[in-house]
A and B are shown apart, each in its own frame.
Chain A
């Protein structure tokens, strides 16, 4: 017992300063990519040839964009582009409310908008979520788990992952949604009482990621939950816990 207390005293406070202070990332962390088509060489499509998930649209033109919903943030495009038409910044803010808002050009920040006033009133101070892994490789699952640990502590904002969909206000989907999980995912959503939200976490749940086009997967949560809107997309492979926190807090109107 004494040892445990001594250890505890020496251990100090582990919780990150975010959102009150700046988040800290490793120097090589790859956040939001920035596109500068003026640096493209005519006819060059080296970035597209390097991209594992077809995330780069209209390369070499003024309309060049990156689809964060497909991007795995591997950095291969930037490495294939010595002039620097594509580069990754340390900006962790990636979550968005719509699929279109994930397609970025130039250097504009991606900031998720808040839910409407009524939903914010109901969910703003207490959001219980049921996580459904539907073909997730356990990368996104691990980061969602980490968002609840003493470092990131999403619980301090009243956000918690719960054991039953009946106790939840929404579901968090990871993975491209395999055909073998399509029904279980749908039934989990149906078991959540309204009003309920859907959050898609990771490239796979947003677009199918590297599994896009696989005949045994659905290509993401929106396609699998046909007719049910996705309220928040959190890109990454997997998204950093801070990116998830940022998305959730913006969704709840608690970070502006």
Chain B
């Protein structure tokens, strides 16, 4: 990475171009060509890249074939649209990066949990999702039986003192939502600290994807987070296509873009309704709840499923649209957006709603950067980051979607992101429907290249989805890493609550609307 070489004075030898393997979104590389460093040097290079503006997009382990673990880092250079890969080998421990680079904290906890690698000096070493270890090794958390540990069975961070109290919520919540446990340390109404325990949703997705691709793989990818079926499905399909050396047709790329943007709009509009509901502004809550269905049904007009399942497949899309259907769909989306815009503005024009949203759950820009936040939650905090522009893929290489940011990083900013991004997505969808490229919409991908690695990134509605696929010598998926945007952003939610009121929590939670299943895999 060009930007990394300048900013490492006094921190050991400066990274050289040969320290990393450069690639970009969807470009496969020879897995053996990824430079392997000593752990200390690995840390230096990652930190130097971070100081130079680079970002840790993924950090994951896989078997090195000799009883140890190969830890691979994916560094993103967003302004340049490049990715850099580097690796280190570890047997039982490695020097933690998280103290200097908080964005690494969850990745390192994952490495400890999955592979029994102890990150030396990690400031917050706790299990991440309470999954059984993937190899025989002493438990880095000192548990007697990691397989028998339930989520939440660990020492919570506790505040003690007069009138300090603890509030525990979950895993089963009041509404129809996924399970997670929230532990608040409060002084009166004021939240000193919120600790979020996840893992209840762990289904073993990565393990089930290993050994593929097979007839189940696509259904699994679409189930990583059911509200992001197109996003994760597309990341998977893109990875398979890259590894088999094929590119989807222009028509397939366009239809995928339509699906991805409709998914974004459906979720964003649903979130606007949920935010309105949380502050008791019922008109927008009712209308947006129902209008969300317009976009879900628009997706179903293409593929028969309201959540975009069975839309994408490796090689293209499973369903095409004729000219007549495309016109009808455009008319439908246009009409729905006209209503949505009005329903949402009722809320944004209401002084009482704005007063409740403004200044609640603030995540300052520097903090969002530090935590490596992504998606609308990051953009609401002024972090200008979007895979569709920075690491453009598919149709986004030809048709651009303008990226919107806000400054305040509060609930109002996150709500506004939903509205503004939806508007741009609708414009994009209408534009694509008007000029769908001709030709076929599906081709068959060939066999996968053996010993190859690819990073496949997609801007889902919550932010950056990154899948890393590594094939074995037979061209099967030997390792498959999934990173949902929520993986970065859950800590952002915890920090948004600091010094806030405990009654702000439902509102803050809705304004992030993160995925439990996507985090827990």
Q: When each residue 203-224 of chain B gets 1 if its CB lies under 8 Å from chain A and 0 otherwise, what string results? A: 1100110000001101110011
Q: Does A61 contact B (CB under 8 A)?
A: no
Interface size class on chain B is: 35 or more
Label chain B's interface by main secondary structure: loop
**Choice from A49, A140, A148 contacting B215 with Cβ under 8 Å:** A49
**Choice from A29, A136, A142, A217 contacting B204 with Cβ under 8 Å:** A217
Q: Does A137 contact B (CB under 8 A)?
A: yes
Question: How far in angstroms is the closest Cβ of chain A from B273?
Answer: 8
Of residues 291 through 347 on chain B, the ones whose CB sits less than 8 Å from some CB of chain A are 292-293, 297, 300-307, 309-310, 318-319, 339, 342-343, 346
**Choice from A140, A144, A145, A181 contacting B179 with Cβ under 8 Å:** A181
Question: How far in angstroms is the closest Cβ of chain B from A170?
Answer: 14
Instruction: Give the residues in chain B near A50, CB-CB below 8 Å.
Output: 215
Chain A residue at smallest Cβ distance from B181: A184
In the complex, are the beta carbons of A180 and B178 less than 8 A apart? no
Q: When each residue 1-40 of chain A gets 1 if its CB lies under 8 Å from chain B and 0 otherwise, what string results? A: 0011001100100100000000001111110000000000
In the complex, are the beta carbons of B200 and A181 less than 8 A apart? yes
In the complex, are the beta carbons of B349 and A3 less than 8 A apart? yes
Contacts A180-B202, A237-B309 hold; do A214 and B208 have CB atoms under 8 A apart? yes
State the CA gap A140–B223 with chains docked (Å): 11
Of residues 176 through 217 on chain A, the ones whose CB sits less than 8 Å from some CB of chain B are 176, 178-181, 183-184, 188, 204, 209-211, 214-217
Work out how many contacts link A and B, with CB atoms closer than 8 A.
186
In the complex, are the beta carbons of A214 and B204 less than 8 A apart? yes
State the CA gap A137–B202 with chains docked (Å): 10
Q: Does B239 contact A (CB under 8 A)?
A: no
Instruction: Give the residues in chain A near B304, CB-CB below 8 Å.
Output: 26, 28-30, 73, 75
The interface stretch among B88-96, B103-111, B115-123, B281-289 is: B281-289
In the complex, are the beta carbons of A178 and B342 less than 8 A apart? no
State the CA gap A178–B174 with chains docked (Å): 20
Contacts A26-B300, A216-B131, A216-B204 hold; do A137 and B293 have CB atoms under 8 A apart? no
State the CA gap A145–B342 with chains docked (Å): 23
In the complex, are the beta carbons of B179 and A73 less than 8 A apart? no
In the complex, are the beta carbons of B172 and A75 less than 8 A apart? no
Q: Does B73 contact A (CB under 8 A)?
A: no
In the complex, are the beta carbons of A135 and B201 less than 8 A apart? yes
In the complex, are the beta carbons of A136 and B517 less than 8 A apart? yes
Of residues 158 through 172 on chain B, the ones whose CB sits less than 8 Å from some CB of chain A are 171-172
In the complex, are the beta carbons of A28 and B208 less than 8 A apart? no
Instruction: Give the residues in chain A near B177, CB-CB below 8 Å.
Output: 133, 138, 141
In the complex, are the beta carbons of B300 and A7 less than 8 A apart? no
Question: How far in angstroms is the closest Cβ of chain A from B54?
Answer: 32
State the CA gap A165–B223 with chains docked (Å): 27
Q: When each residue 110-141 of chain A gets 1 if its CB lies under 8 Å from chain B and 0 otherwise, what string results? A: 00000000000000000000111111111111
Of residues 133 through 180 on chain B, the ones whose CB sits less than 8 Å from some CB of chain A are 150-151, 171-172, 174-179
In the complex, are the beta carbons of A75 and B178 less than 8 A apart? no
Of residues 151 through 194 on chain A, the ones whose CB sits less than 8 Å from some CB of chain B are 151, 161, 163-165, 175-176, 178-181, 183-184, 188
**Choice from A51, A181, A216 contacting B171 with Cβ under 8 Å:** A181
**Choice from A4, A51, A161, A237 contacting B176 with Cβ under 8 Å:** A161
The interface stretch among B183-191, B225-233, B386-394 is: B225-233
Of residues 53 through 96 on chain A, the ones whose CB sits less than 8 Å from some CB of chain B are 53, 72-76, 79
**Choice from B150, B174, B270 contacting A180 with Cβ under 8 Å:** B150
Chain B residue at smallest Cβ distance from A202: B226
In the complex, are the beta carbons of B219 and A53 less than 8 A apart? yes
In the complex, are the beta carbons of A28 and B517 less than 8 A apart? no
**Choice from B202, B226, B292, B309 contacting A136 with Cβ under 8 Å:** B226
Q: Does A146 contact B (CB under 8 A)?
A: yes
In the complex, are the beta carbons of B218 and A52 less than 8 A apart? yes
State the CA gap A178–B303 with chains docked (Å): 29
Q: Does B132 contact A (CB under 8 A)?
A: yes
Q: Does B130 contact A (CB under 8 A)?
A: yes
In the complex, are the beta carbons of B223 and A211 less than 8 A apart? yes
Q: Does A44 contact B (CB under 8 A)?
A: no
Chain A residue at smallest Cβ distance from B218: A52
In the complex, are the beta carbons of A211 and B176 less than 8 A apart? no
State the CA gap A134–B208 with chains docked (Å): 18
In the complex, are the beta carbons of B307 and A180 less than 8 A apart? no
Contacts A180-B199, A180-B202 hold; do A210 and B220 have CB atoms under 8 A apart? yes
Question: How far in angstroms is the closest Cβ of chain A from B269?
Answer: 12
In the complex, are the beta carbons of B226 and A139 less than 8 A apart? yes
Q: Does A235 contact B (CB under 8 A)?
A: no
Instruction: Give the residues in chain A near B300, CB-CB below 8 Å.
Output: 25-26, 28-29
Q: Does B290 contact A (CB under 8 A)?
A: yes
Instruction: Give the residues in chain A near B306, CB-CB below 8 Å.
Output: 143, 238, 240
State the CA gap A211–B515 with chains docked (Å): 18
Instruction: Give the residues in chain B near A72, CB-CB below 8 Å.
Output: 219, 309
In the complex, are the beta carbons of B179 and A133 less than 8 A apart? yes
Instruction: Give the residues in chain B near A98, CB-CB below 8 Å.
Output: none
Instruction: Give the residues in chain B near A216, CB-CB below 8 Å.
Output: 131-132, 202-204
Instruction: Give the residues in chain B near A228, CB-CB below 8 Å.
Output: none
Question: How far in angstroms is the closest Cβ of chain A from B331?
Answer: 15
Instruction: Give the residues in chain A near B319, CB-CB below 8 Å.
Output: 28
State the CA gap A25–B174 with chains docked (Å): 31
In the complex, are the beta carbons of A178 and B176 less than 8 A apart? no
Chain B residue at smallest Cβ distance from A24: B297
State the CA gap A210–B223 with chains docked (Å): 8
In the complex, are the beta carbons of A214 and B176 less than 8 A apart? no
Question: How far in angstroms is the closest Cβ of chain B from A242?
Answer: 11
In the complex, are the beta carbons of B342 and A140 less than 8 A apart? no
Chain B residue at smallest Cβ distance from A132: B172
In the complex, are the beta carbons of A137 and B223 less than 8 A apart? yes
Instruction: Give the residues in chain B near A7, CB-CB below 8 Å.
Output: 283, 287, 342-343, 346
State the CA gap A79–B304 with chains docked (Å): 13
**Choice from A52, A131, A143 contacting B219 with Cβ under 8 Å:** A52
Contacts A52-B218, A79-B318, A133-B179 hold; do A26 and B225 have CB atoms under 8 A apart? no
Instruction: Give the residues in chain B near A164, CB-CB below 8 Å.
Output: 174
Chain A residue at smallest Cβ distance from B220: A210
State the CA gap A51–B225 with chains docked (Å): 21
| A residues with CB within 8 A of B | 3-4, 7-8, 11, 14, 25-30, 49-53, 72-76, 79, 130-146, 148-151, 161, 163-165, 175-176, 178-181, 183-184, 188, 204, 209-211, 214-217, 237-238, 240
- Could you name 22 residue pairs across A and B whose Cβ atoms are closer than 8 Å? A4-B283, A7-B346, A14-B290, A25-B300, A29-B300, A29-B304, A52-B218, A73-B305, A74-B309, A75-B318, A131-B175, A135-B201, A142-B227, A146-B289, A146-B292, A163-B174, A180-B150, A181-B201, A210-B219, A217-B203, A217-B204, A237-B305
* Extra pairs beyond A134-B200, A142-B226 (5, CB < 8 Å): A135-B200, A151-B293, A209-B223, A216-B204, A238-B226
The 5 closest A-B pairs by CB, nearest first: A139-B226, A137-B226, A28-B304, A163-B174, A52-B219
